[in-house]
Amino acid sequence: MDKKEKSDELFIAHKELAFQSQEKGKRAAELVIANEELFFQKEEKGKRAAELIVANKELVLQKEEKKKRAAELIASNKEVDELEKRVKERTEDLESFSYSVSHDLRTPLRAINGYAKILGEDYGAVLDDEGKRVLGEVTSNAKKMGVLIDDLLTFSRLGRKGITKSCVDMNNLVETVLSEINQSTTHNAEIKFSNLLPAVADYNLLQPVITNLLLNAIKYSSKKEKPQIEIKSERKKGALIYSISDNGVGFDMQYVDKLFGVFQRLHSDEEFSGTGVGLAIVQRIIHKHDGKVWAEGKEGQGATFFFSLPIIDKIELEKTTNFNYPNNGK
């Protein structure tokens, strides 16, 4: 090969080399970028892994929390069961207690009353007037205690009794109560009522309400020359309101809160006899019906007792169980 040929060849090779070198440089730069990318991805992965670990820990925690909650729920469920059991036991205790009260207290009372009566009947001749009076006190107090026990029992029984609502013809109810009252007590009160609105309530529970309120009105107006009692009803603000007013001794409004308490009385037994349970019974029954009781009065100028009952429409009523419409087809 001659010199010129060689030089040409070298030149080409040199160019080639330069080109390759350039190419290598490019590749190297690309590699650097790729490397950087890889590094970045690795970091990202590391981050993700860390995040995953955290998330995993969170999950474990949540799982534990759930377990705890479940355990707590089971525990509180048990507590509810326990409470229910205790309530049931208490109720049973109360029932057997009221039975004992009613039975065991009445038995000696019956003996006191009975033997006092025998003493009066068989030995009345040897007792002077004072002796007879004292004996009378024994008998009447024994009797009073009997009434007291019965009233208390009625009151406590009301707490346990469920209510069965039906449509109650109030005119009818008042008439029934009045005829019962007229049989057992003598009074000269003029009692007025007409067109009373029907109520949706438990008939058997409304009866003692009306009886108590009417007997009270009769009692506290009995010292008037012309005792007058009036029963009225009206619809007001979505409720039925019934009122029983009398022209009797009335009461001071500052004691109005005491009227409905058990054993609370505004009069001495000498003035007007009573056990102080009647209005408490009324209140308990009306509260059971989601109604209210209240009273207005003035000393010496009569009193009015009110009770309200929610208005229940027919459709709503039919949803409640135990409902029976009275047979009106007579």
Partner 1 sequence: MENETFEILLIEDNMNDAELAIRALRKGNINNTLIHLKNGAKALEFLFGTGNFEGRDIRKKPKLILLDLKMPKVDGLEVLTQIKANELTKAIPVVVLTSSKEHPDIERAYSLGANSYIVKPVEFDEFTKVVTDLGFYWLLKNQPPV
Residue numbers at the binding site for partner 1 (CB under 8 A): 95, 98-99, 102-104, 106-107, 109-111, 113-118, 142-143, 145-146, 153, 157
Please tell me the distance from the alpha carbon of residue 35 to that of residue 79, in angstroms, as a whole number: 64
Q: Whose Cβ is closer to partner 1: residue 40's or residue 115's?
A: 115
Asked if 98 and 117 touch (Cβ cutoff 8 Å), the reply is no
For residue 57, give the amino acid letter: K
Nearest approach in angstroms of CB 282 to partner 1 is: 21
In the bound complex, what is the minimum distance in angstroms from residue 111's beta carbon to partner 1?
A: 4
Closer to partner 1 at the Cβ: 199 or 277?
277
Tokens of 24: 């290598």
**Nearest by Cα to 223 from 241, 200, 201, 250:** 250
* Residue 309 DSSP SS3: strand
Nearer to partner 1, 9 or 95 (CB): 95
**Minimum distance from CB of 117 to partner 1 (Å)?**
4
Query: Which residue, 32 or 147, has its beta carbon nearer to partner 1?
Result: 147
The Cβ of residue 247 has, within 10 Å, a number of other Cβ atoms equal to 21
User: Taking the CA of residue 183 as centre, how many other CA atoms within 13 Å lie in the half-sphere pointing to its CB?
Assistant: 7
Choice between 117 and 287, CB closer to partner 1: 117
DSSP state of 198: P
Shortest Å distance, C-beta 106 to partner 1: 5
The least CB distance from residue 89 to partner 1, in Å, is 16
Question: Partners of 304 in the beta sheet?
Answer: 245, 296
